[in-house]
Amino acid sequence: MAANGNGVSTTPKSPLARIQTQKNGGICHDDSGKPVKAQTIDELHSLQKKRSAPTTPLDGVQGTFATISEDERQRQQLQSISASLASLTRGTGPKVVRGDPAGKVQSVSHVAHHHHIEAPTISVSDSSLKFTHVLYNLSPAELYEQAIKYEKGSFITSTGALATLSGAKTGRSPRDKRVVIDDTTQDELWWGKGSPNIEMDEHTFMVNRERAVDYLNSLDKVFVNDQFLNWDPQNRIKVRIVSARAYHSLFMHNMCIRPTPEELENFGTPDFTIYNAGQFPCNRYTHYMTSSTSIDLNLARREMVILGTQYAGEMKKGLFSVMHYLMPMRQILSLHSGCNMGKDGDVALFFGLSGTGKTTLSTDHNRYLIGDDEHCWSDNGVSNIEGGCYAKCIDLSREKEPDIWNAIKFGTVLENVVFDEHTREVDYGDKSVTENTRAAYPIEYIPNAKIPCVGPHPKNVILLACDAFGVLPPVSKLSLAQTMYHFISGYTALVAGTEDGIKEPTATFSACFGAAFIMLHPTKYAAMLAEKMLKHGATGWLVNTGWSGGSYGSGNRIKLPYTRKILDAIHSGSLLNATYHKTEVFGLDIPTEIEGVPSEILHPENTWADKKAYKETLLKLAGLFKKNFETFTNYKIGKDNKLTEEILAAGPNF
């Protein structure tokens, strides 16, 4: 470096820009913030998270935890959870403490001290010497962390959903689901031929309960969800789910109704409790056990025990079975249906088995979605039982199901899907794990969901059937007796493949469109449905989304736009004013014309080239209906047999 005559330094030319400095004594300006107050990395991490403050003022609060301190509220909460985990041998519950056992002990400035509930010292055991950490009503973000860190097979997909595995079981195990039979349930529940209820005694239930509770108490931590069922505030049920997996906790967080902080503070004692010890098998030497799996319901104790299956759908459908028992006891009808509402407040119920289009047709961008699967019909109107949706994902595409596609984001649980190991993009067509891939997400993820999920009394009750025989009309208006008959029948037809590639229709009947979940005799639900329809002026419709012009293989599937036009006419009320004529055999009233639908397809016989084949197929299906209904003919509804006879008369006549 050299200096010129003016005393200014000169430097050789350089491709780099010259650094300019301020004339402040040669010291560069420091624009950084104040240093952090932490002295260690652990202290820095503790500053990252702030404790959630109670949102409910203590003064004037009514309920279990009213006018008590935060410490006392937490103590009572833990005491309730400990009581839920009580073992028969100990009499009271284990020592429980809030928080993740892997986490650092909180400083005194954040929490005064840990509360725990002492177990009696009747006998010393390893479990009585340890604490069980309770992870209580964690947020989706917290549950993501738990799943990713501790549960093998948990990954975040490219859209932000949590992909999980349900283990060896990728579907429900109906043959392993049992209900305790006692003096009350022996008379109230549906037992015997056709019933989904398999009996077990009280002693065997308690053996399995003890096994599940001991397993859960042996763990360092358990997940506890306190949530609600039924959006009708007058008839909601408080449920507690105790589980060992973050996957199960997040699944139920999505599927049950999520309490507000205020509701959680006043939650109190649950009405029903699930003990999910699905990672641990039942003892096959225990009476009634036929495998390592058992899903046990005890209605008297209001408890459910799960052993030997990690499939989360067992919890959802187990609680649905419970609602099928508890709600009718309150004169509330529980329904396996979809439900939506028009902008004018007209509500429609959609019943249908798998493949009938229930989810697709109940999801209408011109109508509000109340729910996609489980509902109650009370004197207050209709209400969704759940707080989320459990959608099938196999062959899912943005074009076919845009709402479901867009709902698969952060917070959603994806069960048993296959994804690219690098990009984490899900291949919904891949069945490597199972065909029963599922997504569980909060109902708020659907753009046109009605929150709260309640509505007025339904105007239309729509029974969907995918008739692969091709003999049922696209739409029929049903009398009250016909509605009961077809509701009890719960018909659809599946297309089953044979080894040589030939496919033929197979009739499937499921009472009340959900036989696997009902607790009472189907005719009891049908009688309640008819009573409510009569009282509130609802109309029954049978809509065929299956084949026309021949059976599967010779005919064609009824086009979805035609079915939507039919539903539009039902919703608007215009179809009530149409001209009708009766069909033979089934005696169904079918309209002569519907706007936007070719009139020739409204009567199925018109679309068959071979009239003789049509008649033979029609009589074949009618015979299948009659054979199926033999299970219900001996059950009397009411004091006399009049109502039963009316239902039987509404069936096919040939």
pLDDT of residue 126: 65
Q: Which residues contact 65 (CB under 8 A, 6 or more apart)?
A: 72, 73, 76, 77, 265, 266, 268
Please report which confidence band the pLDDT of residue 117 belongs to, taking 50, 70 and 90 as the band edges. very low
pLDDT of residue 496 exceeding 90, the answer is no
Query: Which CATH number is 139-166+395-434's, of 2.170.8.10, 2.10.10.100, 1.10.1270.20, 1.20.200.10?
Result: 2.170.8.10
Arithmetic mean of pLDDT over the chain: 88
Neighbours of 274 (CB within 10 A): 26
Q: Which residues contact 598 (CB under 8 A, 6 or more apart)?
A: 562
> Which amino acid does the sequence have at 144?
Y
pLDDT of residue 125: 59
Kindly report, residue by residue over 394-446, the tens digit of the pLDDT: 999 999 899 999 999 999 999 999 999 999 999 999 999 999 999 999 999 99
- Whole-angstrom Cα distance, residue 284 to residue 626? 39
Pairing of strands 131-136, 221-229: parallel
CB 222, CB 215: distance < 8 Å: no
- Whole-angstrom Cα distance, residue 95 to residue 85? 10
CB 294, CB 178: distance < 8 Å: yes
- Residue 320: C-alpha distances to residues 18, 71, 181, 239, 294 (Å): 74, 35, 19, 12, 17
The CATH 3.90.228.20 portion of the chain extends over 458-649
Please report which confidence band the pLDDT of residue 128 belongs to, taking 50, 70 and 90 as the band edges. low
- Whole-angstrom Cα distance, residue 173 to residue 313? 10
- Residue 648 φ/ψ, nearest 5 degrees: -65, -35
The residue to which tokens 């509130």 are assigned: 536
- Residue with the bigger pLDDT between 259 and 28: it is 259
Query: Which CATH number is 458-649's, of 3.40.50.150, 3.90.228.20, 1.10.10.10, 3.30.70.3270?
Result: 3.90.228.20
pLDDT of residue 513: 96
pLDDT of residue 18: 57
Q: In 319-345, which positions are buried (b, 16+ CB within 10 angstroms) versus exposed (e)?
A: bbbbbbbbbbeeebbbbbbbbbbbeee
Q: Look up residue 502 and give its two tokens.
A: 């030939």
Q: Which residues contact 39 (CB under 8 A, 6 or more apart)?
A: none
pLDDT of residue 133 exceeding 70, the answer is yes
The CATH 2.170.8.10 portion of the chain extends over 139-166+395-434
pLDDT of residue 359 exceeding 90, the answer is no
- Residue 561: C-alpha distances to residues 81, 213, 301, 340 (Å): 52, 52, 49, 18
Kindly report, residue by residue over 190-213, the tens digit of the pLDDT: 999 889 999 999 999 999 999 999
State the distance between the two ends of the chain, measured CA to CA, in whole angstroms.
113
Helices (H), 330-408: 358-362, 402-407
pLDDT of residue 102: 81
What positions carry a catalytic annotation? 172, 317, 336, 354, 358-359, 373, 438
Q: Which residues contact 12 (CB under 8 A, 6 or more apart)?
A: none
pTM to 2 decimals? 0.86
pLDDT of residue 121 exceeding 70, the answer is no
